[in-house]
Amino acid sequence: MHCLECEEFVEAIGESPCPLIFLDTCAILDIPRVVCRENTQVDLVRSAAELRSLAMATPRRVWLAATEGVVREFEANRSAVGEEIAAYVATLRKSIRRVSLSVEAAFPEHAAGDLHWPSSTEISDRFLSVADQLLESVTVFQGSRECRDKASRRVWEKLPPVEYKDCQIFEEFLELATMVRDAGFAHPALFVTSNTRDYGKPPTGKEQIVADLAPVSAQYAGNISWAMAEALKPAA
């Protein structure tokens, strides 16, 4: 990860302009969760590797961004997600083995065979490492005090995404997007989260989210695969 002050980040984007993709915590945690969450796309793992390559290319082809709050939240949840994956795989392995043995008993001509999977912990660690590697290519910044004040007002007024930490992250994205637009940035800028409960269903989201994203010409994407496809669309 590369950490910059918001103003420094805006300057860096101006020196090497290309699509800006902001990752919420959910967007990062969804990468390992493809193993155990049916509502996540399996291609997120491949997209994570592609995005990392695009962000580290010379010249770079995308900017990946997150706030310090996103990184802290990811680190706080990383262990629990790993345990969730390992437990799911262990249970699934037992279930498949039981079905295989039952089928072999009913159909002697079919050998049950072994799954030849890595251990549950190895699987969990490998998928978490994909998220870790993506984070290595992310530029981390922190918004101004004004972002925290605006986040408090959102909570007070019960505006989405409602929870203070989420409101602060969203306000920090809006501040960054405003600053780069004011500096002449013309490439796509995308906010990526799968938290549809609080933000609404993409590509629009809840009414207030639409109203907040419109002035900075920013898009709302539900996952990193979606965001990458939008970011790399040929200019009309």
Q: What is the pLDDT of residue 40?
A: 86
219 three-state secondary structure: strand
Cα 122 from Cα 154, distance rounded (Å): 42
Per-residue pLDDT of the chain (236 residues; tens, 9 = 90+): 788 999 999 999 999 999 999 999 999 999 999 999 888 888 999 999 999 999 999 999 999 999 999 999 999 999 999 999 999 999 998 898 888 888 888 888 777 666 788 999 999 999 999 999 999 999 999 999 999 999 999 999 999 999 999 999 999 999 999 999 999 999 999 999 999 999 999 998 999 999 999 999 999 999 999 999 999 988 76
Among candidate residues 191, 183, 193, the one with its CA nearest the CA of residue 223: 193
Q: Tokens 């780069």, residue?
A: 180
**Residue 67 to residues 27, 172, 173: CA-CA distances in angstroms?**
13, 7, 8
Cα 10 from Cα 143, distance rounded (Å): 12
CB atoms within 10 A of CB 235: 6
Among candidate residues 31, 70, 24, the one with its CA nearest the CA of residue 48: 31
Q: Which domains does the chain have, with CATH numbers?
A: 2-77+127-231 (3.40.50)
pTM confidence score: 0.93
Q: What is the pLDDT of residue 233?
A: 87
Cis omega (within 30 of 0) for bond into 59: yes
143 three-state secondary structure: coil
Cα 144 from Cα 190, distance rounded (Å): 20
Q: What is the pLDDT of residue 23?
A: 98
